[in-house]
Chain A
Amino acid sequence: MKRSKTAALLLMSAAPLLLTACDRSESASREGLYTSVEACVAQTNDSSTCQQAFAKAQKDAATTAPRFANREACEASYGKEQCAERNDGASHSFFGPLMTGFFLSQMLRNGSPMNGFNSAPAFRDNSGGWQRPAAGGVSGGVYRGGAATAMVPINAAPNRAVTSSRSGFGRFGNSRGIGG
């Protein structure tokens, strides 16, 4: 079959359309960046998940950390004493940053975490920003595999700010829209 098995609408229709198998309970996700298992437990109260997430991140760090040909290049990005020599198992050695934290994300349903989690190693660069391997490094499914060590920033910045002006976008809009 070349078409979708269902075509559900949750919000656009007055009543959920063609939705049979799923319930409508609110789901969301909880994400955190932690520098230790203890900090994770303090936040989530879930020691088992935090330990597993840490262990998985540490294991993944060996394969997904950014790779540098030498220590100097690595330290230029991640700071002094923040890099270690690694080996990919095929006698190629390279340098990569030390894991300085881990990222944990869990789906919530009705406020409680569901089974399973995603975790990733986190690295702090020498300007204080946090990064983790891009999700695109995972191949299969609707996305092709990307470069395994592409890094994405973790947005750990404070998330409120006073707005000073609006209407800086939209000048070229009209009622027929912009679509192509």
Chain B
Amino acid sequence: MRRVITAERPDWRAKAAECGFGFHTIDDAPYWDESAYYAFSLREIEQDLEAPSEELHVMALDMVERIVGSEQHMQQLAIPEPYRDWIAQSWRERQPHLYGRMDFAYDGHGPAKLYELNYDTPTSLFEAAFFQWQWLEDQLAGGQLPAGSDQFNSIYESLVEAFGTIARGIARPFHFAAVRDSVEDQGTIAYLRDCAVQAGIDCGTLAIEDIGISSDGRFTDLDDRVIGCLFKLYPLEDMFREAFGAYLPRSGLQLIEPPWKALLSNKGILPLLWDAHRGHPNLLPAEFDAGGELPRGWVRKPLHSREGANIAMHLDDGRELRTDGPYRDGPCIRQACHPLTAFDGHYPLIGSWIVGDRACGIGIREDSSLITQDSARFVPHAIVEETRGILIA
């Protein structure tokens, strides 16, 4: 794994505009960054990222089965009592899931270490599945990449296949919903909807704020149609504590991601996985946090934290890092500190995509700090033959 400086495509901004990729620059800061790429060998991709992703995914789903049978685990994950039976039922019915992303610390040496599962509302999907793919094709055609370079990225094909597979299990009408004013989230659901339509599924979009409730407790769209299935790019745990949350269990609404994903998008899964698979090479030691001082060599993460918010890190050398955010009061876990490796002063975090149950690609976000936040930039990757790699390095 190497970080390679490369020439940008002169017309990439025009290409982004053409395909509706509006958030390549966010608040005047670059988000899409193709001034460099990460080069991997095929062995690194297949043995160090793809195979462990598939294995961890299976371990995670097995853990759902254990959690739904345990009030104690539900309590540890801080699942509100009124939603527990509903979540368990959604698992017993195997309500269909679509996708998730695992975040790994990996630098080409030693096993990839799982930081967390983003199994409810993963973003950075369009840039990984489409724009990164187009970058590779363009750079191959333009001779900027060695001939024969490839990419670990069948995310698009897997999404269309997944939608096709679950199509008949999706209640209609089927809507994709996200926060109205978030360009990034709207871009993500626009892409998912595009893939669903390509799989032959008739579906629409809706702002999460526009969802209605009827007097008999069913969820409606702006035409007063009862929503059959809702893809919500909005955290389940936030829905649980909002005004309409209490209606969810008895509304008949199908959700994607389904309710059981609340058990996996929860950092509490990390100590449970560690307990069940102590010493697994891709897992970091983790435990539920009882409060108190954070010892050296540990990271404290809230059960529900996104975009690297409210993380406290106490490095082996005594340095302490801390991020602010909205998740101040909830329960936390501790995870052994395994800092990202710097490449030319940048810290890449590997997002490994699982569509259906298949590990099908990666996207890399790079930050200038050890804690990857929403300031991170998306940097593309390529699979480059080792021998050629040495020539161009």
Contacts and interface: CB of A to CB of B under 8 A. Distances in A.
A126 B122 CA distance: 39
Contact of A174 (B178, B179, B356): B179
Interface string B170-187: 011100001111111100
Contact of A9 (B130, B244, B357): B130
Contacts of B233: 177-179
B374 to A, nearest CB: 6
A162 B214 contact: yes
Contacts of B78: none
Interface residues of B, number: 101
A69 interface: no
A106 B232 CA distance: 26
B190 A2 contact: no
A157 B26 CA distance: 44
B92 A10 contact: no
Contacts of A2: 42, 45, 150-154, 383
A169 B211 contact: yes
A151 B165 contact: no
Contacts of A157: 226, 252
A4 B360 CA distance: 10
Interface string B92-106: 111110000100000
- A-B residue pairs, 5 tightest by C-beta: A179-B123, A168-B244, A173-B179, A142-B356, A177-B182
Interface string A128-153: 00000011101001111011001111
Given A166-B212, A173-B179, A152 B200 contact: no
A56 B194 CA distance: 32
Contacts of B95: 152
A10 B194 contact: yes
A169 B173 CA distance: 19
Interface stretch (B66-74, B234-242, B293-301, B331-339): B234-242
Contact of A142 (B123, B165, B201): B165
Interface stretch (A26-34, A35-43, A77-85, A93-101): A26-34
A159 interface: yes
A6 B361 CA distance: 14
| B interface: dominant SS | mixed
B18 A13 contact: yes
Contacts of A6: 156-157
A90 interface: no
Contact of A13 (B19, B155, B202, B208): B19
| A interface: dominant SS | loop
A140 to B, nearest CB: 9
A8 B205 CA distance: 20
A88 B386 CA distance: 54
Contacts of B171: 155
A107 B213 contact: no
B215 interface: yes
B42 to A, nearest CB: 8
Interface in B346-365: 355-358, 361
B89 to A, nearest CB: 10
Contact of A3 (B93, B133, B178): B133
7 contacts: A4-B129, A142-B165, A153-B93, A155-B171, A170-B208, A177-B178, A179-B184
A96 B124 CA distance: 46
A29 B200 contact: yes
Nearest to A27: B200
Interface stretch (B1-9, B217-225, B275-283): B217-225
B209 interface: yes
Contact of A152 (B153, B169, B357): B169
Nearest to B235: A178
Contacts of B183: 175, 177
